[in-house]
Amino acid sequence: MSSRWPLVALAALWAASAKAQSPDGQLVSAFLDPSFSMEPGVRTLESLTPAIYAWDAPVSRALSFDESSPAPKVVAVAARALRLALLDVPIASFQGTLVHEVFGHGARAREFGQWPAYQFKVPVPWSFILGDGTPFSGRTEYVRSGFADRDDPVHAGGIESSELSIAWTWREGLTRGELSAFALVGLLRDEADYLPRFLFDGQRLGQGGVSADPDTWFDGLSGRFNQWRPEDLRGLDRRIRVGYATKLLDPAVWVALKGVLWDFLVHGRRTVEIPRLSRPGGWWLPGVRVVPSPFGLEHQLRLDLGDQGWLVETTVRFTSSGLAQAVGLGIHAYQLPVGPGVRLGLEADVWVQPELLFDLRNVQDAPLRFGAASAVLLDVQLLERLWLSGKLGAKLPGFLMGQPLHGGPYGYLGLRVSLR
């Protein structure tokens, strides 16, 4: 990326701020940067849900009927179950697969000069109905370099992008206090994507076939840290499974599950309130996120605070897989009102982790390095329902979820449209 491009983007944001009023309602975003990197792509695709479902409110009103008696209630629940199976889950699955492949594996591969090719199939259950027998929902075709610190992040990039999608969807829900039922379908899809492989499949990680992301990531991780004896592999497998299970402590998992199966399926609610804990002058909520990193599973313990549409997220990060020491701290603030309609975001992260060695092979004990990153985000209004939005940041080399692995400036620019 040109070092001047983010500066131009930030200048454009400030120039437009004179007209601004604060963004609200359901926002559809289109973000872009020269590298087609992970975060702008994830934010763009995960924001499309309200546009995809713009037809839902008028159609639902036209077809609504009294569900207070048992027979109509059974009919309504059955109809919503059929809709989930044939429409909502396939849409969320295809949306999530695009994120996973194009802005997960693809974004990490693009960082190292590749432009991968993709294959997609019709999502379940339509793949069975239409007779599509391909054994995958999506595939990214890229070249393995043989350098662990290049290949391992690409292998894990799909899962990483799903976690980033969860993070941004959850932040939007927390700042508004609610999420649509269909956003929760996508959130639940991302949360549950690899749970069966990590938690319920008795076959050791690394033995599930080269097309399974957890297995290719596990193989790269065990090779990078010289874990080759059977007892080493079994121990690493056990630690990763136990570590991944802590994902179930995150409130987002249970809010999504309840929102889809109880609020929407049983009661037909199309908007679900996000439960938050009260504090003087606002609310707070803890959370957990689990991300595959080049050093093992990274746990992110969060404390979210907010009020009046703004959010402050404090995160402690550490790896749990017994392979390397890696710790970090992040403080992120979003949608802070700083002027007539101008909303500001700030991100600051620091960490200590093994150095990423992109051009060396067979290094099992890389030296620890300090790293840091910071960024500014702005939303400013151009028209009544149109906002200019962007991000400008810089970082030292190192792993930070969703951000470039190399050091230097990064950022993106885009438009956000309110559908209210």
pLDDT at 124: 81
Mean pLDDT, residues 323-347 taken together: 94
pLDDT at 2: 42
| pLDDT score of 21 more than 50 | no
pLDDT at 47: 93
Report the chain's mean pLDDT, rounded to a whole number: 89
* CB environment 144-165: b (16+ within 10 A), e (fewer): ebebbbbbbbbbbbbbbbbbbb
pLDDT at 17: 32
87: left (phi over 0), alpha (psi -120 to 50) or beta: alpha
**Which residues pair with residue 310 across a beta bridge?**
307
Out of 137-141, 149-153, 215-219, 310-314, least confident range: 137-141
* Distance in angstroms (rounded) separating the CA atoms of residues 192 and 207: 21
Q: The tokens of 326 are what?
A: 């890696």
Q: Are strands 342-354 and 368-383 parallel, antiparallel or unpaired?
A: antiparallel
| pLDDT score of 126 more than 50 | yes
Q: How far apart are the first and last CA of the chain?
A: 35
* DSSP state string for 91-120: HHHHHHHHHHIIIIIHHHHHHTT---EEEE
Do 205 and 215 form a contact (C-beta atoms < 8 A)? Answer: yes
- pTM of the entire predicted model: 0.91
